[in-house]
Structure 1
């Protein structure tokens, strides 16, 4: 269970809460297709609250939209729901024990960012290293992304891979300039490929493929002729861009938070220390790609674990394996290979 509509949660929450309590998984809550919040186990929220209170990362965000408060408390089966006055946040209990909480995406991001800083800020260097090592042991989510590295290096099936956190895949595709009718119709990538094979066209190079995996929206396309606008307003909370330019031998990685580029420059001394990308050819397996105190220094442990515990040997595949563990990135292997993923052509200007 990846997501549930808010109206379903307010009318029939018993099965959803039972799933969260049994599996410990988060469930995205949408309102009309737009992400409204995240339902997570109470124990996980308690841990985040514990650490987040030890770091001040600005005021805690409150719901931007106030909805009608559901009547309550309301009981379904063994569970009781208590709604906050904003009509968005909710607490769910079983036998007077809190088992699940609904929080807005903004508040959850605030908690996670503060908790991450507090966890690392209050550890000595050995504890910090051990904690990063623990996090790096996490297996990839779903299919991960390392599997696509070899084809991507040859600019197949896309020259650009993007992962954004916040907007739904449909919203991101439309913001990038995808044709709204294709999005509404549910056009699939294999339909475009099949027509290309029949009619000798090359429309596959002109479409934007998109979907959702875990907590991320992914987009894949060819960066030919600037067919897509690639603008999200406001900027996503997190954004990762991977671009392959085979003719120039350039394969780069960019990472931003709230539109602020995190400047992942290499360890080597350089007069130009604020590069706008990290070229993957700078990474040498066995060597830390980022300075320990750089914004992305935490990636070193994840990449090292990928080097030690995967069968990948190519540098780009290893780097991808590190990213998939650090950020929880994934791409649907069967869907992309068979073409059973959604896509859209660029809107006609």
Structure 2
């Protein structure tokens, strides 16, 4: 990075601004050898400001030295210099277009720090597509979920399977209306099975089974009599719901982010009511399940990889195999099969 003494350019910034405009390089302006301000091309400053908005927290440092009022705009070669009240910031324009600005060294450092944090989750469209293609090749985490699809179509062991990002399994179970004592006691599914066999009760179809796998809280239940509220406030960061209705051969998938349903088709200016769930039977192996510009179009690559790299042939199982790759979903096969998973009955009995 170049630097220049303020006294060398204060009378005429024109040549310096021309260099910045042509090279796109920033210049440190010093006073007595110490940094007094940073001259940045307008494009670089706009980029820093944009990404700094994505990071929260911390107040922007502002110069405390000021002048009142600022001097009138000055013509310096083809450029116009506008000074600001803080006595540090200066804006240079050419033909009514901002070319460069001087900001305090502290403010530029703050912007760079915030922009660095803001860029961490950003990728341009080409990068996003390449990254999704890379992720689609990855193997599922743990046991995955494709293994459960066949019995799930017969509503075994659960009618509804949910994955929730954010709250802990215990928090979700309590929010759904599960019995707090069962949660505290660490009630296990096989204990309910054994009690039903021994006492002739029928608690098994009415329990909420829950756990954590691969960073997701997962739930499995039937809820035939609406025993659970299925309400989390505030809505979780992400929520995936899979529902099987064996009698009608309807199997549904829905995905919400921050409480907003991600519709499987692009929003159109139409009076037609958009579906609030995606029926898995709409998917035909070999064909992309979602339109290219639909909110769920990113899933197409994962489903395609499941078709190419697994031995599954059934449409529901292939769809599950795509979901497990896309979201990193997993269900503990051995624990569910043996009943060594936590559960709770409805709080109201």
Same fold (TM over 0.5): yes
1:338 aligns with 338
1:290 aligns with 290
Question: 1:144 aligns to what SS in structure 2?
Answer: coil
Answer whether contact 2:149 2:317 (CA < 8 A) is retained.
Answer: yes
Answer whether contact 1:312 1:318 (CA < 8 A) is retained.
Answer: yes
Taking the aligned partners of 1:215 and 1:138, their CA distance within structure 2 comes to 17
Taking the aligned partners of 1:310 and 1:167, their CA distance within structure 2 comes to 32
Runs of at least 5 residues in structure 2 that lack an aligned partner in the other structure: 1-46, 59-116
2:254 aligns with 254
Cα distance, 1:238–1:291 mapped onto 2, change above 3 Å:
same
Question: 2:300 aligns to what SS in structure 1?
Answer: helix
2:123 aligns with 119
Cα distance, 1:307–1:181 mapped onto 2, change above 3 Å:
same
1:265 aligns with 265
Cα distance, 1:128–1:177 mapped onto 2, change above 3 Å:
closer
Matches within 5 A, 1:2-151: 59-62=54-57, 118-121=122-125, 123=126, 129-151=129-151
Answer whether contact 1:266 1:282 (CA < 8 A) is retained.
Answer: no
Taking the aligned partners of 1:287 and 1:207, their CA distance within structure 2 comes to 38
**Displacement of 1:314:** 0.8
Decide which structure has the larger Cα Rg and report it: 2
**Displacement of 1:61:** 4.2
Taking the aligned partners of 2:232 and 2:152, their CA distance within structure 1 comes to 24
**Displacement of 1:53:** 7.7
**Displacement of 1:295:** 1.1
Question: 1:242 aligns to what SS in structure 2?
Answer: strand
Answer whether contact 2:266 2:293 (CA < 8 A) is retained.
Answer: no
1:261-311 Cα offsets, whole Å, 9 max, x none, are 1111399xx984611000000010000001111111110000000000011
1:179-232 Cα offsets, whole Å, 9 max, x none, are 000000000000011112223322110000000001100011003110000110
**Displacement of 1:57:** 9.8
Cα distance, 1:208–1:288 mapped onto 2, change above 3 Å:
same
Moved more, 147-156 or 193-202: 193-202
2:87 aligns with none
**Displacement of 1:343:** 0.1
Question: 1:119 aligns to what SS in structure 2?
Answer: coil
Answer whether contact 2:266 2:295 (CA < 8 A) is retained.
Answer: no
Cα distance, 1:249–1:287 mapped onto 2, change above 3 Å:
same
Matches within 5 A, 1:147-162: 147-162=147-162
Is 1:204 the counterpart of 2:204 in the alignment? yes
**Displacement of 1:255:** 0.3
Taking the aligned partners of 1:54 and 1:326, their CA distance within structure 2 comes to 32
